Chains A and B, each alone.
Chain A
Amino acid sequence: REGGVFGLGRKATDAEVAAWDIDIRPDGQGLPVGSGSVADGEPIYTDNCAVCHGDFGEGVGRWPILAGGHDTLTDDRPEKTIGSYWPYLSTVYDYVRRAMPFGNARSLSDDDVYAITAYLLYLNDIVDDEEFVLSNENFLEVRLPNEENFIPDARYEEPHYAEKSEPCMKDCKADPIEITMRAAILDVTPEDGGDDSA
């Protein structure tokens, strides 16, 4: 082949790139041609997803909650779901097609994924019409509620980093130092944590 410094490897064929390059971006790049409705999505979701994520996206056991949690992000215990937290619908389509169902990835058709994505919008009250059809053509019209709440990393503007001052070395605290919390009282460490019999 031509090009390259070392001339190693070979040119990827179009079919090879198409087989692996399934990623989708918020601007819609990568979306396949296809469609699916909320009504189509319900049975597909019920058959493939509900066993872990619950009939209404509420999550079974410790499996992820997919719906609900609106306006909880400043709560003591926020519930971060597609509807309450995720910024982009493209991520739903990409991730479901890429990695779900857990244990049987890449088993859903492109139309199946559109239908499930439409159903997840319905479970999150983002669309309310069971006849709503999601397709590559109207995909970008749907926006998720929390898109604007993602901000750049500004860690180094936090006071403890920004000052870069020499830390105190001697007589740093005036008040008596008291223990305020003990892990042993919570007692959730595995029983064999460091034990010979592990």
Chain B
Amino acid sequence: MTETKDKGSPSLSRRSLLKAGLATGGAAVAGVTATGARAEGDPVITEIQDWNRYLGDGVDAAPYGLPSEFESEVVRRNVPWLTADAVASINFTPLHELDGIITPNGLCFERHHGGVAQIRPQDHRLMINGLVDTPLVFTMDDLKRFPRENHVYFLECAANGGMEWRGSQLNGCQFTHGMVHNVMYTGVKLKTLLEEAGVKTNGKWVLPEGADASHMTRSVPMEKALDDCLVAWKMNGEALRPEQGYPLRLVVPGWEGNMWVKWLRRLEVGDQPWHHREETSKYTDLLDTGKARRFTWVMDPKSVITSPSPQMPISHGKGPLVISGLAWSGNGRIKRVDVSIDGGRNWTTARIDGLSLSKSLHRFYLDIDWDGSELLLQSRAMDEHGFYQPTKNELRAARGENSIYHNNGIQTWYVQKDGTVENVEVG
């Protein structure tokens, strides 16, 4: 079902067009919408449907269930032109289709540097070495005997939104903001494992290393390692997915996703950072002065309206409209999210719904009565430390356009009268 796109028209999906069509030309499809029911009644009510008559699947049909076939568009997507190949690459969480704060495991975005390692847990080992009293080797069974903790944290790629530094590029919050997911991790505190090996007094840094072909390494300061890092083997109650580091990954709350080393096999303690490839060539932020910031670890306060958004046009016409979005901060809890419908001229404080957890996604809503006029939607997060989300122009003024990483600028969606939505920038 491919469609040929009209060169002059916005990059709309077939589904978007269908929804937009419902908004403007609803009469043409009367009979299938509740509001457009015919005099004799809505056939899905007046006529007996197959599922009213015939038996469905038994309990043995799906030992591990999958979403309804009618949700088949709720999938991770990649943007092939972003990277040289699909093995050292990225895909995107379909944020526009999700609600609440927990990301389903199968939809959590992926970022690999050497593909997905497939490791039999019996063959996996975790080594601690370096400036410790006793270098240790743990099996997965060993690790599961340590005291456990459960925490919900967001994991955001440092490059989330990186394609947007120069301006509006990709049409959909899945693509502009979808390098983030938020799950409950189960694991042991990194502090507990380091104490088991005994960190020497000159041990100031930790180098986590992955078992995959990229042998990912990053330098983590000891203060963070002893604060809230976890060595986790479960996400949302079940084992990590292979693409998320099965059987073991590091959790570095609030810090850039690259540091959350997957397939974690080794932790080395040292007295200074290693300056490895992923903290020199990559994950350093070039400023317009030609200087580059290194060790830009924290992910700053950020938010995005997930609906309406380019992949979620308004399909129902005027009247009640739920503006739904996500906000998060690597510094802690989100204290407030403000929403503007006029491009940032006026703001209304939205309602944060559900759990407000430190270094976790927060769900916000603003319920409005849409009069059918054009909107310029924005959201602006503020965290518990009083840091608020800057505009993209404020970020560019401070950093230029070549930082690649850490773009947490305010996103604007242009809602048109027909309900279609576009990624834009405003001046």
Given the known inter-chain contacts A21-B266, A171-B345, A184-B422, please indicate yes or no for A87 contacting B136, CB distance below 8 A.
no
Q: Are B11 and A173 in contact (CB under 8 A)?
A: no
Flag the segment in B42-50, B237-245, B273-281, B355-363 that touches A. Answer: B273-281
Q: Are A10 and B136 in contact (CB under 8 A)?
A: yes
The CA of A9 and the CA of B146, in the complex, are separated in Å by 10
The CA of A179 and the CA of B27, in the complex, are separated in Å by 32
Q: Are B138 and A9 in contact (CB under 8 A)?
A: yes
Q: Are A11 and B168 in contact (CB under 8 A)?
A: no
Question: Which of A26, A188, A194 is close to B13, meaning CB atoms less than 8 Å apart?
Answer: A194
Q: Are A171 and B346 in contact (CB under 8 A)?
A: yes
Instruction: Name the A residues within 8 Å of B1 (CB-CB).
Output: 195-197
Q: Are B272 and A193 in contact (CB under 8 A)?
A: no
Question: Which of B15, B142, B170 is close to A196, meaning CB atoms less than 8 Å apart?
Answer: B15
- Say whether A99 faces chain B, with CB atoms less than 8 Å apart: yes
Interface of B is mostly: loop
Given the known inter-chain contacts A155-B300, A161-B387, please indicate yes or no for A188 contacting B169, CB distance below 8 A.
yes
Given the known inter-chain contacts A17-B127, A170-B346, A189-B171, please indicate yes or no for A4 contacting B14, CB distance below 8 A.
no
Question: Which of B2, B265, B272, B385 is close to A191, meaning CB atoms less than 8 Å apart?
Answer: B2
Instruction: Name the B residues within 8 Å of A186 (CB-CB).
Output: 168-169
Instruction: Name the B residues within 8 Å of A106 (CB-CB).
Output: 215
Tell me, rounded to whole Å, the shortest Cβ–Cβ distance linking B79 to chain A: 6
Instruction: Name the A residues within 8 Å of B344 (CB-CB).
Output: 172-173, 177
Flag the segment in A116-124, A134-142, A146-154 that touches B. Answer: A146-154
- Say whether A47 faces chain B, with CB atoms less than 8 Å apart: no
Q: Are B424 and A4 in contact (CB under 8 A)?
A: no
Given the known inter-chain contacts A12-B136, A167-B338, A167-B382, please indicate yes or no for A188 contacting B275, CB distance below 8 A.
no
Instruction: Name the B residues within 8 Å of A86 (CB-CB).
Output: 280-281
- Say whether B33 faces chain A, with CB atoms less than 8 Å apart: no
Q: Are B275 and A105 in contact (CB under 8 A)?
A: no
The CA of A137 and the CA of B284, in the complex, are separated in Å by 29
Residues 157-214 of B contacting A (Cβ, < 8 Å): 167-172, 174-175, 192, 195-198, 207, 209, 213-214
**Candidate in B2, B170, B171 with the most chain A CB atoms within 10 angstroms:** B171
Residues 57-104 of B contacting A (Cβ, < 8 Å): 72-73, 75, 77-81, 83-84, 87-88, 94, 96
Instruction: Name the B residues within 8 Å of A33 (CB-CB).
Output: none
Q: Are A153 and B175 in contact (CB under 8 A)?
A: no
Tell me, rounded to whole Å, the shortest Cβ–Cβ distance linking B193 to chain A: 9
Question: Which of B215, B346, B385 is close to A105, meaning CB atoms less than 8 Å apart?
Answer: B215
Q: Are B215 and A98 in contact (CB under 8 A)?
A: yes
Given the known inter-chain contacts A4-B196, A180-B427, A182-B414, please indicate yes or no for A95 contacting B277, CB distance below 8 A.
yes
The CA of A156 and the CA of B406, in the complex, are separated in Å by 13
Question: Which of B129, B207, B280, B399 is close to A17, meaning CB atoms less than 8 Å apart?
Answer: B129
Cβ-closest chain B residue relative to A71: B290
The CA of A168 and the CA of B342, in the complex, are separated in Å by 14
Instruction: Name the B residues within 8 Å of A184 (CB-CB).
Output: 9-11, 171, 422-423
Instruction: Name the B residues within 8 Å of A78 (CB-CB).
Output: 286, 402
Residues 387-427 of B contacting A (Cβ, < 8 Å): 387-388, 390-391, 394-395, 397-399, 402, 406, 414, 422-427
Residues 217-251 of B contacting A (Cβ, < 8 Å): 217
The CA of A87 and the CA of B10, in the complex, are separated in Å by 43
- Say whether B288 faces chain A, with CB atoms less than 8 Å apart: yes
Q: Are A193 and B168 in contact (CB under 8 A)?
A: no
Q: Are B422 and A177 in contact (CB under 8 A)?
A: no
Tell me, rounded to whole Å, the shortest Cβ–Cβ distance linking B195 to chain A: 6
The CA of A145 and the CA of B323, in the complex, are separated in Å by 50
Given the known inter-chain contacts A20-B127, A164-B387, A167-B380, please indicate yes or no for A195 contacting B81, CB distance below 8 A.
no
Cβ-closest chain A residue relative to B166: A181
Q: Are B292 and A167 in contact (CB under 8 A)?
A: no
Instruction: Name the A residues within 8 Å of B127 (CB-CB).
Output: 12, 16-17, 20
Q: Are A180 and B425 in contact (CB under 8 A)?
A: yes
The CA of A149 and the CA of B425, in the complex, are separated in Å by 32
Instruction: Name the B residues within 8 Å of A52 (CB-CB).
Output: 84
Instruction: Name the B residues within 8 Å of A64 (CB-CB).
Output: 84
* 6 A–B contacts, CB within 8 A, in A order: A4-B136, A12-B137, A21-B268, A23-B217, A103-B213, A194-B94
Pairs A-B, 7 closest by C-beta atoms? A194-B311, A197-B1, A184-B10, A177-B343, A62-B84, A183-B423, A195-B13
